[in-house]
Amino acid sequence: MVTAVSFRWKDYAHGNKQRIMALSATEFLRRFCQHVLPRGFVRIRHFGYLASAHRTARLALARLQLTSQPRPDPRIAISPLATWRCPRCRANMCIGPNLTAQQLAFRCRLADTS
């Protein structure tokens, strides 16, 4: 037994006309639950840099900062052949690939044979 749910909504694309939509109960609940926040979450859409009182100025500032390039610090000398030594054996250390948490956990499980 499929039950239909009818509800009113405002169509902003067509002059704010009120329309009626009929959906099956399961589809209505699926769409409704997309708007429910989990327990402990707070809706904060009117705070921060997107607050309506400051939105235009802050977005312009953010765009300006994204396009500007940071100046290199002359005090920091970057060597293209940087090498690190092992504190225990003083041998050169090789820099390996960045691992995800799952890859790292898998490698730790292989090394732990106790």
In terms of average pLDDT, the best of 5-9, 65-69, 101-105 is 5-9
Higher local confidence (pLDDT), 52 or 16: 16
* Rounded CA separation 66/48 (Å): 18
- 10/80: higher pLDDT: 10
Percent of the chain with pLDDT over 70: 76
Q: Provide the pLDDT for residue 86.
A: 79
> Contact at 8 Å (CB) between 20 and 6?
yes
Give the residue extent of every domain in the chain: 1-36
For the chain, the average pLDDT equals 79
The H or E element spanning position 63 is helix 55-67
pTM for the structure as a whole: 0.36
